[in-house]
């Protein structure tokens, strides 16, 4: 297959390596707004060749497109790709705001072209096993789900300025994981945020954003979700999920790389070294996710994260953004269109 890849920054350059290592991918056609980003990928990866522009790439006859450009470019690129009939994978979030995401849905509904939105936790073997435990009934009645995504250090100010804020950019992974693992929808959120007082204003304050946030999720069956996020977890990249039920409890992400130092006398776990970033913690999940996309593009499987499903996650992020800014609980149907 020939796969196109637009955007070769932190995640795009990583996806280029992952895609090139897949046996289904014969050629990668890549483009980025920055020549330096393109050069570093085409020089490193023999399967990669550069296109002159996104339009040139879209007209190059690729079998599928991966969009890993900045969030602000997602909607326009997705519309251009799907309207040409190209099966499209787009990194989360669908767009800068859920309102814009809804207009993408309205334009593309019925297009008949598969779209997969990038939520890698759905492909992490431990998250999948937690979901199987819920579905298999071994946990009994699930009452609490805790989901955590903590970055070791903030991304650059240029990234944060167009990210949509911590709920749409980071917590959205947890909102999606809680929905996917429980199979239940979120009906109400209570979110709070705080700003690291030592951070320059251009990182958070200027963007009406937060460096640390917590969100309580009330699910349709009364299950409570507890989501924790920060941009400043110096010990490492912390991605985990716990599901507690009336009969049993399970956790995904409790391996020796868990970035926590136990203060329990005599404890030797976790043995470390801590996970440093998504590239090591979620490498296998990204590989399975992109391998799945190749199968989606080949028409052998359905998209596991279609637009409508991803949009329901986006509404939760929207409700959390409003909740933290206005300091009040927000029902998801108040913001959903």
Ligand X SMILES: NC(=O)c1ccc[n+]([C@@H]2O[C@H](COP(=O)([O-])OP(=O)(O)OC[C@H]3O[C@@H](n4cnc5c(N)ncnc54)[C@H](O)[C@@H]3O)[C@@H](O)[C@H]2O)c1
Binding site for ligand X (CB under 6 A): 6-12, 31-34, 37, 54, 68-71, 73, 91-92, 118, 120, 159, 169, 278
Least CB distance to ligand X at residue 323 (A) = 21
Report CA torsion sign: 147, 153, 155, 157: positive
Cα 337 from Cα 321, distance rounded (Å): 16
One-character DSSP codes across 206-262: GGT--SEEEEEEEETTS-EEEEEEES--TT--EEEEEEEESS-EEEES-STT-----
- Residue 7 or 259 having the CB closest to ligand X: 7
Which residue, 219 or 286, is less far from ligand X as judged by CB? 286
Which CB sits closer to ligand X, 279 or 322?
279
- Phi first, then psi: give them for residue 53, nearest 5 degrees: -165, 165
Nearer to ligand X, 139 or 317 (CB): 317
Q: How far is the CB of 143 from ligand X (least distance, A)?
A: 28
For the CB of residue 329, give the shortest distance to ligand X in the complex, in Å.
Answer: 26
Cis, bond preceding 273 (omega within 30 deg of 0)? yes
Smallest gap, in angstroms, from Cβ of residue 248 to ligand X? 29
User: What's the min distance (Å) between Cβ of 31 and ligand X?
Assistant: 6
Please, are residues 81 and 6 in contact by the beta-carbon 8 Å criterion?
Answer: no
Query: Between residues 71 and 303, which has the closer beta carbon with respect to ligand X?
Result: 71
Q: Tell me which residue of 293, 238, 286, 288 sits closest to 261, measured CA to CA.
A: 238
C-alpha span between 219 and 60 (Å, rounded): 45
Closest contact distance (angstroms) between CB of 6 and ligand X is 5
Residue closer to ligand X, measured from CB, 140 or 156: 156
């Amino acid at each position: 297959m020939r796969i196109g890849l637009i955007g070769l920054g932190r995640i795009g350059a990583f996806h280029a390596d992952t895609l090139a290592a897949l046996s289904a991918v014969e050629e990668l056609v890549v483009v980025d707004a920055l020549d330096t980003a393109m050069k570093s990928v085409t020089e490193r990866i023999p399967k990669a060749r550069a296109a002159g522009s996104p339009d040139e790439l879209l007209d190059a006859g690729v079998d599928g497109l991966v969009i890993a450009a900045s969030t602000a470019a997602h909607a326009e690129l997705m519309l251009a790709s799907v309207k040409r009939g190209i099966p499209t994978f787009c990194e989360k979030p669908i767009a800068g705001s859920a309102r814009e995401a809804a207009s993408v849905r309205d334009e593309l509904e019925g297009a008949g072209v598969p779209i997969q939105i990038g939520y890698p936790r759905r492909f992490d073997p431990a998250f999948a096993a937690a979901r199987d435990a819920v579905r298999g009934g071994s946990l009994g009645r699930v009452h609490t789900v805790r989901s955590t995504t903590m970055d070791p250090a903030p991304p650059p100010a240029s990234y944060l300025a167009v990210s949509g804020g911590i709920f749409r950019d980071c917590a959205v992974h947890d909102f999606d994981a809680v929905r996917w693992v429980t199979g239940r929808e979120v009906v109400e959120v209570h979110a709070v945020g705080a700003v690291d007082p030592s951070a320059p204003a251009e990182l958070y304050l200027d963007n009406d954003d937060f460096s640390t946030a917590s969100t309580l999720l009330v699910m349709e069956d009364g299950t409570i979700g507890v989501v924790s996020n920060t941009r400043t977890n110096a010990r490492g990249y912390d991605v985990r999920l716990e599901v507690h039920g009336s009969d049993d409890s399970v956790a995904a992400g409790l391996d020796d790389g868990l970035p926590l130092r136990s203060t329990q006398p005599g404890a030797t776990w976790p043995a470390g070294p801590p996970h440093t970033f998504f590239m090591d913690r979620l490498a296998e999940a990204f590989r399975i996710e992109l391998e799945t996309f190749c199968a989606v593009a080949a028409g052998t499987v359905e998209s596991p994260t279609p637009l409508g499903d991803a949009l329901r996650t986006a509404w939760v992020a929207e409700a959390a953004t409003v909740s933290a800014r206005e300091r009040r609980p927000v029902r998801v149907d108040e913001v959903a269109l």
